[in-house]
Amino acid sequence: MASSDHPEIDSSRPHPARMWNYWIGGKDYYPIDQEVGEQIAAAFPGVGDIARHSRVCLGRMVRHLVAEEGVRQFIDIGTGLPTHDNTHEVAQRIAPECRVVYVDNDPLVLVHARALLAGRAEGRTDYIECDVRDPGRILAESARTLDFDRPIGLILFGIMGNVIDDDESQAIVRRLVEALPPGSFVAFNDGTGVLDREGREEAIRLAVEQGSSPYVARTPEEIARYFTGLELLEPGIVSTSRWRPEATPFGPPPEVDAACALARKVS
């Protein structure tokens, strides 16, 4: 936990986590987040679908890791505000002994940390107020809750686009993965600009102009670099809506402007 019980929250500037909460139908955002969120949605209409599909994709990956791969520990970086089916809820529903460490740098998430920490008694959840750019601290503090001799599921959903320098973002992921034991997994999801590059760029411009953090939309080919040395699980790097979706009579869901993958660390 952070040392301050009353972190300062700037309600005059939009924040990515709060706008995301607005797009997925949450209630924990300020008027500025709704205002800018609506401007972004007008310029980039697919953003709401990306947010919703990312949420359900996260649930599918966590369920697979717990039920099929036997993973019982998770580090969820850039977790955002609590909503339905948080990582610990999905994991502990299958295996109550699961342990989950949440990491985020938004003070509002800290205010809501108690909701995140309400896990099953058999397991454990914890929260670290930290930026993804400080992987050393994330790993050190996660070790208070997790056993780094056993497989860990590292979740990087919608976070690495906030690290706009390619070399820095690659180095961060590499540092995190290097610390994981063999048999661990990386669940990755981030925005692209493949379907609507113009809309995506305008959305980023609007957000930054209003005081939000910069963001870079990488191509699936650029995202593939994060998985160097890892073993991709089927179906590989795909549109976030297309990662093992639930079967329906209507065929596969439409693609969204985000890409994801799940990969195993073999050695």
Q: 3-state DSSP: the chain helix, strand, coil percent, rounded to 5?
A: 40, 15, 45
- What pTM was estimated for this model as a whole? 0.92
pLDDT of residue 29: 87
Per-residue confidence (pLDDT) for residue 1, from 0 to 100? 38
First to last CA, the chain: 32
Task: Please check whether residue 248 is in contact with residue 225, taking contact to mean a CB–CB distance below 8 angstroms.
Answer: no
- The pLDDT assigned to 6 comes to 47
Backbone angles phi, psi at 236, to 5 degrees: 85, -150
Residue 171, pLDDT score: 98
> Are the C-beta atoms of 185 and 263 separated by less than 8 Å?
yes
Are 254 and 241 in contact by the 8 Å Cβ rule? The answer is: yes
In this predicted structure, what is the pLDDT of residue 7? 52
Q: What residues are paired with 191 via a beta bridge?
A: 258
Q: CB of 2 within 8 A of CB of 9?
A: no
Cβ(129)–Cβ(137) under 8 Å? no
- pLDDT value of position 14: 85
In this prediction, residue 98 carries a pLDDT of: 97
At residue 79, the pLDDT reads: 86
Q: Give me the pLDDT at residue 139, please.
A: 98
Q: Splitting the chain (267 residues) into consecutive groups of 10 residues, what average pLDDT does each group show?
A: 52 83 86 93 95 95 98 94 86 96 84 67 88 97 98 97 97 98 98 95 92 91 97 98 91 94 97
**Residue 163 structure tokens:** 């690290």
Given this model, what pLDDT does residue 3 score?
39
3-state secondary structure of 37: helix
